[in-house]
A and B are shown apart, each in its own frame.
Chain A
Amino acid sequence: MNENYLWDKTGDDAEIEELENALQAFRFQKNEAPRLPAKILPFQAKKSWRSFFKFGLAFAACLLFCIVGVKFWSLHYSGENLTAEIKSSETAAQNPVAQITAPRAENFPAPTVEKIKDFPVKQIKFSRQPLKIKLAKAPKTIPAVKLKNNADDERFAPAETVAKLSREEKFAYDQLLLALSITSSKLKIVKDKIDNSESSKSIQDSEK
């Protein structure tokens, strides 16, 4: 049997040709196609419920994303976030481990939440000249930082100089001091641990 002839009629194969001739009587006779309905209406595909479901799902996803974004933005830029920072700074200042020397803080009483909200925002203009902090009288709404005062420490400016800072500068200054106090407390903890471990080690060596 010629496989090529069986596949695409190339070459010759008497047996297959004989079968083709015998079965030719049953072959399809070309005729006219059935007539379509006289009144031909434009074909309208049925709207699949899947496309509607996909559209609804996409809309719901966009809506959810917008809600989450608005919520995140409101939490990040609202006054609640600032209040939380103030509260955390107050709790950190109450930590007895912090022993950072700072200028006198009796001139800066603790602010209230309502006054913090009225905190004005001013543009900071930078100049090429070295920054000279002009100390001004501090307003009453600045949060207080309860820190130990060390008058012998020459690194810190006198209270009169600090009192001349503007409201924003004072707030930034206090935040910086707070961060420094927290950092120093952590460092002190680490230092104590190291000292204790070294001392215990030396005791063990001496016992041996």
Chain B
Amino acid sequence: MSEKEMTGNLFFLANRQPNSAQTAAPVRRETILIERIRRGEQEAFDELYKMFAPMVHGILLARVRRDEVDDLVQEVFISAYKNLHNLREANAVGAWLAMIARNRAAEFYRSFKPTEELSEDLKTGKNLKNEANEILAAIRSLPDAYRETLILRLVEGLTGNEIADQTGLTPESVRVNLHRGMKMLREKLGVKE
């Protein structure tokens, strides 16, 4: 073997990174925040709230009365802080928060009938167009998977990747939910029009 070949091989080996460095998963921001929250840092909790509050708000909006959503968002995060010891995987805090939000919405939904929601919205007298209410009602009438994904996309303004990242769903599932949900929504709105 010539000196050139030996030098080339040595250079190749020196530039190669160890497998652990190549395959090591980067530490997510949520993991660091969870650790800081466990130590009692309010700033970390504020940042976590800022990251996931739109997602929690969208999930609750798909299920409960609009005027109750803001209070329930606060309750969800307080409940999450109290039960932080149940969170096994810090990377999955988004999916965990989504689960808490759905459970909280289910508890709230048992005490209120769906017909009361629309009447309450009309009675509030706020500056809300009937068209928006009708669209929201149409989205709420869709199946759970489509309803939730469409509200996160159309109301909260999250992209498909953001929805998948925060809720724990796969991008393919989110794409299918968006496509089929949009198709069904267009049919409902088209029938009314």
Contacts and interface: CB of A to CB of B under 8 A. Distances in A.
Task: Say whether A and B bind each other.
Answer: yes
Given A1-B182, A34-B74, A34-B78, A16 B154 contact: yes
B171 to A, nearest CB: 9
A7 B45 contact: no
A27 B77 CA distance: 18
Contacts of B37: 43
Interface stretch (B12-20, B24-32, B126-134): B126-134
A19 interface: yes
Contact of A7 (B42, B81, B84, B159): B159
A15 B182 CA distance: 11
B54 interface: yes
Interface residues of B toward A: which range? Answer: 35 or more
Interface string B162-193: 00000000000001001100100010000000
A120 B131 CA distance: 107
Interface string A1-15: 101001111000001
B55 to A, nearest CB: 9
Contacts of B63: none
Interface of A is mostly: loop
B104 interface: no
A29 B132 CA distance: 17
Nearest to A17: B154
B46 A33 contact: yes
Interface in A24-51: 24-36, 40-43, 45-46
Contact of B38 (A6, A31, A33, A43): A43
Interface string B42-64: 10011011100110011001000
A6 B77 contact: no
A22 interface: yes
Contacts of B136: 23, 26
A20 interface: yes
A161 B157 CA distance: 107
A28 B131 contact: no
B85 A27 contact: no
Contact of B155 (A1, A9, A23): A23
B49 A43 contact: no
B81 A22 contact: no
Contact of A23 (B54, B73, B77, B154): B154
Contact of A36 (B45, B74, B159, B179): B45
A167 B38 CA distance: 76
Contacts of A28: 53-54, 57-58, 73, 156
Given A23-B135, A26-B66, A28-B58, 6 more contacts: A8-B159, A23-B132, A33-B53, A42-B39, A42-B40, A43-B38
12 contacts: A7-B160, A16-B182, A22-B135, A23-B136, A27-B155, A28-B53, A29-B70, A30-B50, A34-B78, A35-B42, A36-B42, A43-B37
Interface of B: 37-40, 42, 45-46, 48-50, 53-54, 57-58, 61, 66, 70, 73-74, 77-78, 81, 84-85, 128-129, 131-132, 135-136, 153-157, 159-161, 175, 178-179, 182, 186
